[in-house]
Amino acid sequence: MPRVIYIDAQGGEFEAEVEVGQNLMEGAVDHMIDGILGECGGVMSCATCHCYVDPAWVNKIPPASEMEEDMLDMVIDPQDNSRLSCQIDMTEELDGIVVRLPKSQF
Protein backbone atom coordinates (compact mmCIF):
# COMPACT_ATOMS: atom_id res chain seq x y z
CA MET A 1 0.00 0.00 0.00
CA PRO A 2 1.39 3.45 -0.86
CA ARG A 3 2.58 5.63 1.98
CA VAL A 4 2.50 9.31 2.83
CA ILE A 5 5.05 11.08 4.99
CA TYR A 6 3.42 13.81 7.05
CA ILE A 7 5.81 16.29 8.71
CA ASP A 8 4.31 18.44 11.46
CA ALA A 9 5.22 22.07 12.18
CA GLN A 10 7.76 20.96 14.79
CA GLY A 11 9.54 18.65 12.33
CA GLY A 12 8.04 15.40 13.64
CA GLU A 13 7.73 12.85 10.85
CA PHE A 14 4.85 10.39 10.60
CA GLU A 15 4.52 7.72 7.92
CA ALA A 16 1.08 6.34 7.08
CA GLU A 17 -0.20 3.85 4.55
CA VAL A 18 -3.02 5.37 2.53
CA GLU A 19 -5.17 3.28 0.19
CA VAL A 20 -5.22 4.15 -3.50
CA GLY A 21 -8.27 6.32 -4.12
CA GLN A 22 -8.36 7.70 -0.59
CA ASN A 23 -7.30 11.33 -0.24
CA LEU A 24 -4.43 12.56 1.92
CA MET A 25 -6.80 14.23 4.41
CA GLU A 26 -8.63 10.94 4.99
CA GLY A 27 -5.30 9.20 5.45
CA ALA A 28 -4.22 11.75 8.06
CA VAL A 29 -7.52 11.56 9.94
CA ASP A 30 -7.52 7.74 9.86
CA HIS A 31 -4.01 7.71 11.35
CA MET A 32 -4.75 10.51 13.85
CA ILE A 33 -2.08 12.83 12.43
CA ASP A 34 -2.19 16.10 14.37
CA GLY A 35 -2.49 19.18 12.19
CA ILE A 36 -5.12 17.97 9.74
CA LEU A 37 -8.71 18.09 10.94
CA GLY A 38 -10.82 17.81 7.82
CA GLU A 39 -13.82 19.31 9.59
CA CYS A 40 -15.93 19.56 6.43
CA GLY A 41 -15.25 15.97 5.41
CA GLY A 42 -13.47 16.92 2.21
CA VAL A 43 -15.99 19.15 0.46
CA MET A 44 -13.70 22.22 0.34
CA SER A 45 -15.62 24.37 2.78
CA CYS A 46 -13.22 24.70 5.72
CA ALA A 47 -9.49 24.49 4.75
CA THR A 48 -8.68 22.63 8.00
CA CYS A 49 -6.74 20.12 5.90
CA HIS A 50 -4.29 22.70 4.52
CA CYS A 51 -0.82 21.32 3.89
CA TYR A 52 2.35 22.17 2.02
CA VAL A 53 3.31 19.64 -0.64
CA ASP A 54 7.04 19.03 -0.70
CA PRO A 55 8.50 20.77 -3.78
CA ALA A 56 9.75 17.45 -5.18
CA TRP A 57 6.11 16.28 -5.44
CA VAL A 58 4.28 19.44 -6.56
CA ASN A 59 4.46 18.60 -10.27
CA LYS A 60 3.34 15.01 -9.70
CA ILE A 61 -0.15 15.96 -8.52
CA PRO A 62 -2.95 17.61 -10.49
CA PRO A 63 -3.13 21.40 -10.13
CA ALA A 64 -5.57 22.99 -7.70
CA SER A 65 -9.02 23.80 -9.01
CA GLU A 66 -10.31 27.37 -8.90
CA MET A 67 -12.53 26.45 -5.94
CA GLU A 68 -9.55 25.00 -4.04
CA GLU A 69 -7.49 28.12 -4.80
CA ASP A 70 -10.32 30.26 -3.39
CA MET A 71 -10.24 28.25 -0.14
CA LEU A 72 -6.45 28.50 0.04
CA ASP A 73 -6.76 32.29 -0.08
CA MET A 74 -8.25 32.03 3.44
CA VAL A 75 -5.53 29.97 5.13
CA ILE A 76 -2.90 31.38 7.43
CA ASP A 77 0.50 31.63 5.72
CA PRO A 78 -0.39 30.36 2.24
CA GLN A 79 2.57 29.41 0.06
CA ASP A 80 3.03 28.44 -3.59
CA ASN A 81 2.93 24.76 -2.58
CA SER A 82 -0.18 25.09 -0.37
CA ARG A 83 -2.90 22.54 -1.07
CA LEU A 84 -5.98 21.13 0.59
CA SER A 85 -5.06 17.55 1.40
CA CYS A 86 -8.67 16.49 0.73
CA GLN A 87 -8.08 17.30 -2.93
CA ILE A 88 -5.05 15.04 -3.38
CA ASP A 89 -6.11 11.48 -4.16
CA MET A 90 -3.57 8.77 -3.41
CA THR A 91 -2.18 6.81 -6.35
CA GLU A 92 0.58 4.21 -6.63
CA GLU A 93 2.71 6.94 -8.28
CA LEU A 94 2.46 9.09 -5.14
CA ASP A 95 4.02 6.40 -2.92
CA GLY A 96 6.35 8.28 -0.56
CA ILE A 97 4.81 11.74 -1.08
CA VAL A 98 5.89 14.23 1.58
CA VAL A 99 3.50 16.85 2.94
CA ARG A 100 4.30 19.38 5.63
CA LEU A 101 1.67 20.61 8.03
CA PRO A 102 1.39 24.30 8.89
CA LYS A 103 1.59 25.73 12.39
CA SER A 104 -1.75 25.43 14.11
CA GLN A 105 -4.37 27.28 12.11
CA PHE A 106 -7.36 26.41 14.22
pLDDT digits (tens, 9 = 90+) for 3-18: 999 999 999 999 999 9
In a domain, 96, yes or no: yes
pTM value surpassing 0.85: yes
Its domain, for residue 9, covers 3-100
pLDDT digits (tens, 9 = 90+) for 34-70: 889 989 988 888 999 999 999 999 999 999 999 999 9
Of 4, 8, 51, the closest CA to residue 30 belongs to 4
Neighbours of 52 (CB within 10 A): 19
In a domain, 106, yes or no: no
| C-alpha atoms less than 13 angstroms from C-alpha of 74 in its C-beta half-sphere | 12
Output the domain CATH number for residue 95: 3.10.20.30
- The total number of structural domains in the chain stands at 1
